[in-house]
Structure 1
Amino acid sequence: MEKFDVFLAHNSLDKPEVIAIAKKLKRYNLNPWLDREQIFPGDNIHEAVFQGISQSKVGAFFISQNGLGTFQENLELGGIIQFFLKKRKEQSFRVIPILLPGVSDIPENFFYLRQWAWIKFTSLDDPAALEELIRGIRGRVTEIKAPPETPETTSIIQPTPTKIPEQQSNTDEEAERIRQQQEEAERLQRKQEKVERLLAAENRRQQEVEKLRQQEEAERLQREQEEAEKIAELEAAAERERQQEAAKQERERVKRMGLRLLRLQQEQEEAERLQRQREQENDDLSSDKGVDYKRLRDLLKARRWKEADQETLAVMLKVANREKQGWLDTASITIFPCNDLRTIDQLWVKYSNGRYGFSVQKKIWLEVGKNEDAFYARIAWQITAKWFFGGNLSSRSRNLDLTAPEGYLPFGMWWVIGGCRIWDLFSLRPDL
C-alpha cells in the first residue's frame, strides 16, 4: 500500500537542500519520505529504508557536487533499482534522477541512471525544475495550482496559466507534446531493455566467470589434496623405512650386546677358572708326612661338608700312621706334625669363610672360659660323658652347611680321639 508520493534518496551533506525541496512538495499536498522524519532511534535502518521505498510511488535520487554518500549509494540506490525492476511490468514505480545545482549531467559511473528522464535544478528556486518534479511524481498532465502565500515563501513557483482548450493550436501543441513524450518513453523503454540485456549478459558472464573460478578452485583443491596425499604417503613410507632401519639397528645392537655379554661371561668364567687355579696353586697343601690334601681341599671348596669331615679323619689317621687302629691317642696328638695340622686347619678356615676349623673351635673354647659344657652348647654338640673314651659324642644340628653354628666342624675326628679331653687337646697344641 502506497503511503508516500516520493522517496528522497540523498547524500547527508545535501540534506538542507533536500529538506527545502521536501517542504515545497508538501505545500503542493505531496507526502515525501525523508529519513529525518521517518527513521527514529532504535529503528532498523535497512528495514525502514526498504519499507519506505516499497510504500512510495516514485524514487527520487539526488546527485550533487558532494557525490553519493555511503548510505545513499550502498543502500538507497540498490533498494530503488531493485524495487523498480520488481514493479517494472506493472509500471507502478518510477525513478527520477535529480541533479542539484552545480551538476550538469549524470556521472559516467552511474550511466544506468540515464535510462530515466532526469530533472536539473539550476538553483533551489528553480520553478521549472520544481514543476517537472511535481508532474513526475503525479505521473500525468495536470494543472499545478499555486500553494497559499506564506511569509516564508519568498520564491514560490507561480502556477501555469490555464490553457483555453477551445483553441485548436493549443490542442495540437498539447497532442504533439504528448506524442513526443510517448516517443521519448518508448526510446527510454528500448534503452532500458538494452541495458537490461547488457546487465543480463554481464550477469551471465559473471556467473560463467564464477563457475570457472569455482571449477579452477575445485581443481586446485583437488591437486593440493592429491599432493598432500602423495606427501603423506611418502612420509609414511619414509617413516616405515626409518622404523625398519631403527628395528634393524636395534637387532644389531641387541646382537652386539648379546655377543658382548657372552664374551664378558666367557671372560668372567675364564677369570673365575684362573682365580680357582691360582687359589689352588696358592693353597698350602704341604705335609711333613707326604699326605695329599687335594681331595680335602676340593671337598671343602665344593662345600661337601660331611665328606670333607670324613676326609679330615682319614688324612689325620694317615699322618699319625694309625689307620689300622682307627683312632688317635694323646701321644699321636702330641707329636702330630705342625705343618700338617696347620694345612688341615687353614683349608677349613679358608673355604668356610672363617666359620669352621680347629683354630675357630679353640677361639670359642677360650671365649667360653674353657668351660666344656658351655663349649658344647655353643657349637651344638652333645656328650654323655666327660671323657671321650667310652663316652657318647653327638650333634644337635642336622644342617651340614654354613647355617650350622660357628665352630661346628670338623666334628667326626673327635669320635676317634681317646684318652684325653678336648681342653687337653687345645692345651697340648698351642700352635692352633
Structure 2
Amino acid sequence: MRAFISHNHRDKPQVAPLAARLRLLGVDVWLDSWEIRPGDRIPGKVNEALGLVDTVMVFWSTNSSKSPWVNTEWEAALTRRLRDDSVRVIPVVLDDTPLPPLLEPIMWVSLVDGDVDRAARELVGVDSQAELLKTMQRTVEESGLEYRYFHGFGVIVGCPRCGAPSSKLEGWSAVDHTRDDMYAGVRCTECGWDKGGEV
C-alpha cells in the first residue's frame, strides 16, 4: 500500500503516531513533514504524491473541515477514483465533526478514542494486536537497522541530536540515595546528548 496522509497540521499529534505505525507495518506512507523539504514547491509535491499513491487517508476533524488544502486533497482523490478504481479513499475520523456528503458513504476508521494500534490494524487488515506486533518486528528486522535497548529510555536507532549510530550510545544509571530512587538512560559519546528517567 502506498498511502497519502491528508490532514490539517493542527492534528499532527494524532496523525503522526498512526503514520509511524503504518510505516512499521510496511505501508509506504507519504506525510508532508517527512517528504517536503525547504525549497520544495508544496503544491507540486502534493500533486505528484496524489498521482502516485493507491490510497488516500483523509484525517477528518473540525480542523480539517475548515482547511482548503484538506478539502482540495480529498476532492482530487475522489476525482481520481472516478477514473481509476484501484485508488482507495479512507476517511479516518478524529472527532465528532460530520463527514462531507461525498465521504459519508465510504467505510471509515475511527481514531476518536486515540487507539492508534486498533486503527492501524483496521487500516491494513491485521486481525490481532499480536499479529500487529509481529508484523512491526519483522519490518524492523528486515530493514537492517542497528538498534539497541537502553533501560530508562527504550529502543533507539541513533542519537536524535547528531545522528550517531546506536553503537556510539551508552547506557547509564544512578541512584538518588536521599529519595531512594534509581534513574537510568542513554547518552551519546559523540555529542553528549543525554536522556533518561526514573526506573
Does the C-alpha gap of structure 1 residues 116 and 51 become closer, same or farther in structure 2, counting only changes over 3 Å?
Answer: same
Residue 115 of structure 1 pairs with residue 105 of structure 2: yes
Higher relative contact order (CA 8 A, sep 6+): 2
Aligned match of 1:54 in 51, 72, 76?
51
The answer to whether the 8 A contact 1:21-1:124 is kept is no
* TM-score of the pair, normalised by structure 2: 0.60
Aligned match of 1:84 in 81, 85, 89?
81
The answer to whether the 8 A contact 2:4-2:50 is kept is yes
Does the C-alpha gap of structure 1 residues 122 and 72 become closer, same or farther in structure 2, counting only changes over 3 Å?
Answer: closer
Q: Which amino acid aligns with 1:127?
A: D
Equivalence for 1:42: 39
Residue 27 of structure 1 pairs with residue 24 of structure 2: yes
Aligned match of 1:94 in 66, 69, 88?
88
Q: How far apart, CA to CA, are the structure 2 residues paired with 1:54 and 1:144?
A: 31
Q: How far apart, CA to CA, are the structure 1 residues paired with 2:39 and 2:81?
A: 28
Equivalence for 2:70: 72
Following superposition of structure 1 onto structure 2, how do residues 5-16 of structure 1 map, counting pairs within 5 Å?
Answer: 5-16=2-13
The answer to whether the 8 A contact 1:6-1:59 is kept is yes
Structure 1 or 2: more helix by fraction = 1
Q: How far apart, CA to CA, are the structure 2 residues paired with 1:86 and 1:41?
A: 33
Q: How far apart, CA to CA, are the structure 2 residues paired with 1:25 and 1:117?
A: 18
Equivalence for 1:63: 60
* TM-score of the pair, normalised by structure 1: 0.29
Q: Which amino acid aligns with 1:122?
A: V
Does the C-alpha gap of structure 1 residues 129 and 47 become closer, same or farther in structure 2, counting only changes over 3 Å?
Answer: same
Q: How far apart, CA to CA, are the structure 2 residues paired with 1:121 and 1:24?
A: 13
C-alpha RMSD of matched pairs (Å): 2.5
Structure 1 or 2: more strand by fraction = 2
Does the C-alpha gap of structure 1 residues 127 and 20 become closer, same or farther in structure 2, counting only changes over 3 Å?
Answer: closer
For residues 366-407 of structure 1, give each alpha carbon's deviation from its aligned partner in whole angstroms, at most 9, with x where no partner exists.
xxxxxxxxxxxxxxxxxxxxxxxxxxxxxxxxxxxxxxxxxx
The answer to whether the 8 A contact 1:7-1:34 is kept is yes
1:66 partner SS: helix
Does the C-alpha gap of structure 1 residues 129 and 118 become closer, same or farther in structure 2, counting only changes over 3 Å?
Answer: same
Q: How far apart, CA to CA, are the structure 2 residues paired with 1:96 and 1:18?
A: 14
Following superposition of structure 1 onto structure 2, how do residues 387-398 of structure 1 map, counting pairs within 5 Å?
Answer: none
- Percent identity over the alignment? 26
Q: How far apart, CA to CA, are the structure 1 residues paired with 2:54 and 2:89?
A: 9
Does the C-alpha gap of structure 1 residues 145 and 20 become closer, same or farther in structure 2, counting only changes over 3 Å?
Answer: closer
Q: How far apart, CA to CA, are the structure 2 residues paired with 1:72 and 1:42?
A: 22
Does the C-alpha gap of structure 1 residues 125 and 145 become closer, same or farther in structure 2, counting only changes over 3 Å?
Answer: closer
The answer to whether the 8 A contact 1:119-1:129 is kept is yes
* Structure 1 residue 53, shift from structure 2 partner: 1.2
Q: Which amino acid aligns with 1:123?
A: D
Aligned match of 1:106 in 84, 87, 98?
98
* Structure 1 residue 126, shift from structure 2 partner: 4.3
Structure 1 spans left out of the alignment, 5+ residues: 153-432
Q: How far apart, CA to CA, are the structure 1 residues paired with 2:53 and 2:19?
A: 14
Residue 18 of structure 1 pairs with residue 8 of structure 2: no
**For this pair of structures, how many residues does the alignment match?**
135
Q: How far apart, CA to CA, are the structure 2 residues paired with 1:35 and 1:128?
A: 23
State which structure, 1 or 2, has the greater radius of gyration over its C-alpha atoms. Answer: 1
Following superposition of structure 1 onto structure 2, how do residues 126-165 of structure 1 map, counting pairs within 5 Å?
Answer: 126-135=116-125, 144-146=131-133, 147-148=136-137, 151=154
The answer to whether the 8 A contact 1:106-1:113 is kept is no
Does the C-alpha gap of structure 1 residues 42 and 127 become closer, same or farther in structure 2, counting only changes over 3 Å?
Answer: closer
Does the C-alpha gap of structure 1 residues 25 and 112 become closer, same or farther in structure 2, counting only changes over 3 Å?
Answer: same
Q: Which amino acid aligns with 1:120?
A: S
For residues 315-358 of structure 1, give each alpha carbon's deviation from its aligned partner in whole angstroms, at most 9, with x where no partner exists.
xxxxxxxxxxxxxxxxxxxxxxxxxxxxxxxxxxxxxxxxxxxx
Does the C-alpha gap of structure 1 residues 65 and 19 become closer, same or farther in structure 2, counting only changes over 3 Å?
Answer: same
Q: Which amino acid aligns with 2:77?
A: I
